[in-house]
Amino acid sequence: MTTPPPSPWAGTDDLGAAPPGCPAHGLGPGGLRRIYGPEADADLAGLYEKLRAEHGPVAPVLIHNDVPMWVVLGHSENLHMVRTPSQFTRDSRTWRAVRDGTAGPDHPLAPVFTWQPMCSFVEGDEHQRLRGAVTGAMSGIDHRGIRRHINRYTNQLLNDFCQNGHADLVSQFAEHLPMMVMCHVLGMPEEYNERMVQSARDMIKGTETAIASNAYVMEVLMGLVARRRANPEEDFTSSLIAHPAQLTDDEVGAHLRLVLIAAYEATANLIANVVRMVLTDPRFRAQLSGGQMTVPEAVEQSLWDEPPFSAMVGYFAKQDTQLGGQRIRAGDGLIMGIAPGNVDPVVRPDLAANMQGNRSHLAFSGGPHECPGQDIGRAIADTGVDALLMRLPDVELSIDERDLRWTSSIMSRHLVELPVKFAPRPPQDVTARPSAQLPPPRRDWHVSSPAPRPAAPAVPAAPPSPAAVQDPAPETVRPKGAWQRFLIWWRGY
């Protein structure tokens, strides 16, 4: 029997880093590229393309602490991985690095991959039980009511800076709107504050403070679970607790964290990316202004070009298999490459081509673990950006586009700031109701048209006098009916 070829990582612990001056200097053990650190922070998208050129659609890489994984770069390879639970699982307890301790609880990405009792990490009947509870609680959300709250929160944020004539739409808008909405959805609007916003962003970056940020978020969420267990209200948390699946407090808290962080981080990045695209690409601004493109279509284009999550850590091989021409061993870890998969030359040979109407991007994953909160994320981005452009139609970038800066991590890439300028405007009363009164009820409604009157005999018309031609009689103005008056009131005139 032929001996199978060794894994690309076999014996890498003995190789060490390349010596200074070597062409491979800066690479990790075994000559593998790191997708963290200075090179990745500078240009992670360019690094992915180097990996694609060197290895094809699946490439061996190193994550924090030089833990080896595979990054899946191909669009079809990513879809195969997420849609084949018989070969790949989200349960990190099968990952070799977790079993041998190299990716332990103190790893910078531990808050992302550590197994928890939630639907993202389980399979089979348990997955159906937990996922069913989440989707059941989601189905009880009033999406029309949520859009009203999104619009109100958007105008509330705009009121904070509309009189200044300038703002940073990342720190003053995109980072706050999703958290305001999600705190309302979960039932804890009083917990919305700057610390919650920054902790939610920090816990997925792999920083030294990520574990502490995760602990703070979970402390807040578990307090909410205890309150709603004792006093349920009409919110997502109460619906999750009351679901027939009978989730424990730990399971409820874990799923609240999943929904909060996934919806928040994805939507904050999505809002910033859509607004940047509108401000820097004249085609999109013109198409939006001219009606050739709607804000939801602009959002979908952004989900292709700048997905809110650039990657997902991770999936884990349940058995020896092949993927993208690479031999994957049981226990290997894989990263879902969302951003590189969206620009795979196989599916997008022309990156400048318009992707309107095409939702086959990887931004919300796929398969049994597809993002359950994507509709809320889309609603926040659609409504928020639309309300922003309505309030500030003359908004424009206040610096050169080339001066914009991003921060990158394995999980996401987001703008540091988006400074804009516009004509100062007075704040609006976000709680005001229409001042117009309803018209009095009409008593003489006609179900059908009145019978036609008999035609009068034709009389030859006399030629008009010069005075009549020069000064015609004023035209009779018909009074507006109840329906027309109601429409005028409804539209705010």
Q: Across residues 307-334, what is the average pLDDT?
A: 95
Q: Across residues 193-210, what is the average pLDDT?
A: 81
Domain boundaries of the chain, sorted by first residue: 111-421
DSSP-derived secondary structure letter, 174: I
| φ, ψ at 324 (rounded to 5°) | 60, 35
**Mutual angle of helices 194-202 and 210-230, in 10-degree steps:** 120
pLDDT digits (tens, 9 = 90+) for 372-388: 778 888 899 999 999 99
pLDDT of 24 > 70? The answer is no
| 3-state percent helix, strand, coil for the chain, nearest multiple of 5 | 45, 10, 45
| CATH number for domain 111-421, candidates 2.60.40.10, 3.40.50.1100, 1.10.630.10, 3.40.47.10 | 1.10.630.10
Query: What pLDDT was estimated at residue 325?
Result: 95
pLDDT of 460 > 60? The answer is no
**What six digits make up the tokens of 493?**
């005139």
pLDDT of 195 > 50? The answer is yes
Query: What pLDDT was estimated at residue 436?
Result: 40
- Strands across the sheet containing 58-63: 33-34, 58-63, 67-72, 333-337, 311-317, 88-89
pLDDT of 52 > 80? The answer is yes
Find out whether 235 and 174 touch, Cβ atoms under 8 Å. Answer: no
User: What is the pTM (predicted TM-score) of this model?
Assistant: 0.75
The mean pLDDT of the chain is: 83
Query: What pLDDT was estimated at residue 333?
Result: 97
pLDDT band at 125 (very low <50, low <70, confident <90, very high): very high
Q: Across residues 472-478, what is the average pLDDT?
A: 51
Distance CA 24, CA 76 (A): 31
Find out whether 305 and 45 touch, Cβ atoms under 8 Å. Answer: no
Strand partners, 311: 337
The runs of H, that is alpha helices, within 207-248 are 210-230, 236-242
Query: What pLDDT was estimated at residue 456?
Result: 55
Which segment of 93-102, 205-214, 422-431 scores lowest on mean pLDDT?
205-214
Find out whether 94 and 365 touch, Cβ atoms under 8 Å. Answer: no
Distances from the Cα of 194 to the Cαs of 177, 180, 480, in angstroms?
Answer: 12, 11, 51
Query: What pLDDT was estimated at residue 352?
Result: 84
Q: With H, G, I as helix, E, B as strand and everything else as coil, classify residue 358.
A: coil
**What six digits make up the tokens of 161?**
């800076």
Pairing of strands 166-168, 419-421: antiparallel
CB-based burial of residue 453 (10 Å sphere; 0-12 exposed, 13-18 middle, 19+ buried)? exposed
**What six digits make up the tokens of 455?**
């035609």
Q: How many percent of the chain have pLDDT more than 70?
A: 81
Q: Across residues 20-34, what is the average pLDDT?
A: 67
pLDDT digits (tens, 9 = 90+) for 178-189: 999 999 999 999
Query: What pLDDT was estimated at residue 288?
Result: 74
pLDDT of 468 > 60? The answer is no
DSSP-derived secondary structure letter, 118: S
pLDDT digits (tens, 9 = 90+) for 57-75: 999 999 999 999 999 999 9
